[in-house]
Amino acid sequence: MSLGKRLKQERERKGWSQLYVAEKLGITNTVLSNYERDYRDPDTSTLSKLADLYECDTDYLLGRTMVRTKQEFNLTFLGGPEHYTEDEIAEAEAAVRRYREMKKRASEEANKQNK
């Protein structure tokens, strides 16, 4: 899969418009469209920003790996879930709730901009 196709796939996976992503990156919608259609390649700084925005690795965007991120979440650290304290479990659950709310707000914002 080409870089442009992966960029488009990642943007659509997030439910974001080209305009939304372009504004977040500080580029024009036309430039982003050219990236997604493989007419142009982003410079290294922009590629890094795209990977950060889409929460994946640059190697994934470039097609060098099929794994979106190098670091998979691994619950075995610190002895695994069976060794977590009640406080640790409560904090982890709160973090997931905050993360889901952040994603929901981002999706709602993107939907507003698509209209």
Cα–Cα distance list, 83 to 74, 79, 87 (Å): 14, 6, 12
Structural domains in the chain (count): 2
Residue 24 lies in a domain: yes
Q: Which amino acid is at 42?
A: P
Comparing 21-25, 39-43, 63-67, the range with the smallest average pLDDT is 63-67
* 22 and 52 assigned to the same domain: yes
Predicted pLDDT of residue 25: 94
Tell me whether residue 70 is in a domain. Answer: no
In a domain, 34, yes or no: yes
Percent of the chain scored above 90 by pLDDT?
A: 53
Say if 66 falls within a structural domain: no
Percent of the chain with pLDDT over 70: 89
Average pLDDT, the chain: 87
Q: Report d(CA 76, CA 9) in Å as an integer.
A: 31
Q: What is the CATH number of the domain that holds 21?
A: 1.10.260.40
Domain that holds residue 27: 3-61
Res. 14: pLDDT tops 70: yes
pLDDT at 11 over 60: yes
Asked whether residue 54 falls in the same domain as residue 87, the answer is no
CA nearest 106: which of 20, 19, 9, 6?
A: 20
Are 16 and 44 within one domain?
yes
pLDDT in tens, 59-115: 999 999 887 776 555 555 566 667 778 888 888 889 889 999 999 888 888 888 877
Task: Note whether 54 and 95 are same-domain residues.
Answer: no
> Same domain for 56 and 7?
yes
Check pLDDT > 90 for residue 38: yes
Q: Are residues 54 and 92 both part of a single domain?
A: no
What is the model's pTM? 0.60
